[in-house]
């Protein structure tokens, strides 16, 4: 049997973090979930609260904290554009000071630490699909920079702690991920379209809807993250994790409307500044080194996500910011 570990998940109450905590608790590990609940709520981990190998700490990762752990998954950071732009300075602090705090902890404890980086480090990419070797085209002074540059700086810190201090680090670059338990008011495209279609409200298409994204189902993504943590120590990364099947935003809207059987009309709104025009991961590295690739097709994943949205009362969710 694999050794049981003490594992910290920062941002552990969020959309991805809560699923990761569930998987780790089910494996018997001693799991500490740390979150300030900016873009999440306790109800995401309510099923874990009674478990003896689960502990919940309300804490802001920009502040130091002393815990004794064997592994750290660093997921704490708002991920939806409307929410990370609400307080951009805090977003940058969360990425940078959060990275410094978890790296300091990893150095002190001799822990392995994984950073949840993002496809946003590629900005509005001129290379398509995006391999890890592509250095990106990020506008450093635009409205998305607090997130994109914060995550880029965090990658820098991870690599420097690795090279200078020998910390055992892992970096994954996550592409658009969706699924049950996404915050219904996170303002991201999948949650917006499903919420709007279910309520018969207009579907908000930013720009002409020809921009593309590649959508990965939550459980596929979590599987990739877990494999990365357990990979041989030479695989520091970054490693892209995402579903390489690309869709335009209009195609996504059509699928959501069809699956819900909704008659919502399409409402075109201005494209936000610096909105990437295309995005598709090159996952050759994940395939060859992790033996990982997504298994859930968009249609199947949307069906599961829609079923979850139908099963919850949206009035029980507090919008984290007015931007959704
Ligand atoms: P999420 O917003 O649901 O989760 C983030 C969690 O971090 C929330 O629970 C939030 O309350 C918490 N948090 C935010 N600031 C914090 C702080 N200062 N201290 C402590 N906790 C804080 O988003 P998610 O989709 O679950 O994303 C998780 C991670 O994965 C993020 O780091 C995000 O950047 C990364 N990521 C996600 C996607 C995606 O498509 N879901 C894509 C790329 C990268
Ligand atoms: N988008 C949209 N309508 C919405 C929300 C988003 O057309 O209600 C578009 C957005 O402009 C972007 C894409 O959908 O081109 C994905 O947006 P999201 O916020 O989900 O994530 P991003 O990949 O931009 O960080």
On whether residue 262 sits in a domain, the answer given is no
Q: Quick check: helix, strand or coil at residue 34? A: strand
CATH number at residue 225: 3.40.50.720
Q: How confident is the model at residue 1 (pLDDT cuts 50, 70, 90)?
A: low
d(CA 176, CA 222): 13
CB-based contact 125:131 (threshold 8 Å): no
pLDDT for the residue 2: 66
Give per-residue pLDDT as tens, 207-224. Answer: 999 999 999 999 999 999
Tell me 130's DSSP state: B
Cα–Cα–Cα angle for 295, 189, 34, rounded to 5 degrees: 75
Residue 137, φ and ψ in degrees, nearest 5: -135, 80
Pocket around ligand 1: residues whose beta carbon is below 6 Å from it? 10-11, 13-17, 35-40, 60-62, 75-79, 94, 116, 118, 174, 176-177, 183
Q: How many domains are contained in the chain? A: 1
On whether residue 203 sits in a domain, the answer given is no
Give per-residue pLDDT as tens, 12-66. Answer: 999 999 999 999 999 999 999 999 999 999 999 999 999 999 999 999 999 999 9
On whether residue 270 sits in a domain, the answer given is no
On whether residue 316 sits in a domain, the answer given is no
Mutational test site, ligand 1, from 78, 185, 301, max ligand atoms within 8 Å of CB = 78
On whether residue 307 sits in a domain, the answer given is no
- Quick one: average pLDDT of 190-206? 97
d(CA 185, CA 314): 9
Which helix (H) or strand (E) segment holds residue 268: the answer is strand 266-269
Tell me 137's DSSP state: B
On whether residue 160 sits in a domain, the answer given is yes
What DSSP string describes 209-261? Answer: S--EEE-EEHHHHHHHHHHHHHS-TT----EEES---EEEHHHHHHHHHHHHT
Q: How confident is the model at residue 3 (pLDDT cuts 50, 70, 90)?
A: confident
- Quick one: average pLDDT of 138-166? 97
Ligand 2 centroid, distance to 192 Cα (angstroms): 9
Percent of residues, the chain, with pLDDT higher than 70: 99
For residue 217, CA distances in Å to 109, 241, 245, 298 come to 33, 11, 12, 7
- Quick one: average pLDDT of 170-192? 97
d(CA 16, CA 52): 21
**Whole domain around residue 131: which residue ranges?**
6-181+217-244+279-295
Ligand 1 centroid, distance to 78 Cα (angstroms): 4
On whether residue 193 sits in a domain, the answer given is no
Contacts of 254 (CB under 8 A, 6+ apart): none
Token pair of 121, please? 């480090």
CB-based contact 177:217 (threshold 8 Å): yes
Percent of residues, the chain, with pLDDT higher than 90: 98
| Mean pLDDT across the chain | 96
On whether residue 119 sits in a domain, the answer given is yes
pLDDT for the residue 310: 97
């Amino acid at each position: 049997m694999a050794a049981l570990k003490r594992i910290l998940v920062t941002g552990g109450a969020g959309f991805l973090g809560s699923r990761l905590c569930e998987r780790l608790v089910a494996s018997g590990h001693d799991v500490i979930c740390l979150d300030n609940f900016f873009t999440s709520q306790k109800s995401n981990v309510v099923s874990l609260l009674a478990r003896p190998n689960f502990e919940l700490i309300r804490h802001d990762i920009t502040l130091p904290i002393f815990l004794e752990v064997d592994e750290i998954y660093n997921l704490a950071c708002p991920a939806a554009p409307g929410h990370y732009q609400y307080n951009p300075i805090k977003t940058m602090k969360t990425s940078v000071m959060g990275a410094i705090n978890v790296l300091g902890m990893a150095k002190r404890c001799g822990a392995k630490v994984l950073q949840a980086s993002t496809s946003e480090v590629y900005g509005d990419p001129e290379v398509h699909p995006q391999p890890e070797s592509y250095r990106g085209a990020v506008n450093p002074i635009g409205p998305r920079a607090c997130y994109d540059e914060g995550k880029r700086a965090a990658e820098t810190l991870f690599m420097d702690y690795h090279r200078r201090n020998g910390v055992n680090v892992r970096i994954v670059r996550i592409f658009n991920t969706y699924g049950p338990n996404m915050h219904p008011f996170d303002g991201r495209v999948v949650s917006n379209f499903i919420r709007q279609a279910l309520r018969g409200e207009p579907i908000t298409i930013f720009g002409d809807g020809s921009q593309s994204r590649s959508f990965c189902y939550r459980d596929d993504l979590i599987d990739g993250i877990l494999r990365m943590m357990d990979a041989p120590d030479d695989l520091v990364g970054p490693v892209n994790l995402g579903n390489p099947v690309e869709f335009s935003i209009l195609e996504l809207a059509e699928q959501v409307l069809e699956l819900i059987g909704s008659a919502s009309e399409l409402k075109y709104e201005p494209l936000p500044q610096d909105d990437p025009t295309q995005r598709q991961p090159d996952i050759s590295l994940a395939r060859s080194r992790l033996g990982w690739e997504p298994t859930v097709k968009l249609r199947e994943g949307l069906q599961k996500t829609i079923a979850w949205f139908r099963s919850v009362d949206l009035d029980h969710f507090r919008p984290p910011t007015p931007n959704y």
